[in-house]
Structure 1
Amino acid sequence: MTNSNEGAGPSAAALLEGRFEGRQAFRQAVRDALAAAAREGWREIVLCDADFEDWPLGERATLEALGAWAARGRRLVLLAANFDPLVRQHPRFVGWRKTWDHIIEARRCAKGDADDLPSAIWTPHWFLHRLDPRHATGVASQDAERRAQLREQIDECLRRSSSSAFPATTLGLSGG
Structure 2
Amino acid sequence: MPNENEIPNIDLPEGPVDGRHAFHAHVHAALAAAANQNWREIVLSDPAFDDWPLGERAIVDALQAWASAGRRLVLLAQRFDVFDREHARFVHWRRMWSHIIECRACEGPGLPQVPSAIWTPSWFLNRIDIEHGRGVCGREPEGRRALRERLDECLRHAKPGFPATTLGL
Partner of 2:14: 17
Q: How does 1:3-152 map to 2 (within 5 A)?
A: 6-8=6-8, 10=10, 14-71=11-68, 73-112=70-109, 116-152=113-149
Structure 2 length normalisation: TM-score? 0.91
Q: 1:136 to 1:74 in 2, by over 3 A?
A: same
- Which segments of 5 or more consecutive residues in structure 2 lack a partner in the other structure? 1-5
Q: Which residue of 2 aligns with 1:167?
A: 163
Secondary structure (helix, strand or coil) at the match of 2:126 reads strand
- What is the CA–CA distance in structure 1 between the aligned matches of 2:150 and 2:168, rounded to whole Å? 31
For structure 1, which runs of at least 5 residues remain unmatched after alignment?
Answer: 1-5
Residue 41 of structure 1 contacts residue 72 of structure 1 at CA under 8 Å; is this kept in 2?
A: no
Mapped to 1, the partners of 2:124 and 2:142 lie a distance apart of 11
Residue in 1 aligned with 2:3? none
* Structure 2 counterpart SS, 1:112: coil
Q: Does the C-alpha gap of structure 1 residues 22 and 31 become closer, same or farther in structure 2, counting only changes over 3 Å?
A: same
- Determine the C-alpha separation between the residues in 2 that align with 1:41 and 1:126: 12
Which consecutive aligned stretches of 4+ in structure 1 deviate over 6 angstroms post-superposition? none
In 1: Cα distance, 2:77 partner to 2:48 partner: 6
CA RMSD of aligned residues (A): 1.7
Percent of pairs with identical residues: 57
Structure having the higher helix fraction is: 1
Which amino acid is the alignment partner of residue 167 of structure 1?
A: P
Aligned length: 164
TM-score, with normalisation over the residues of structure 1? 0.88
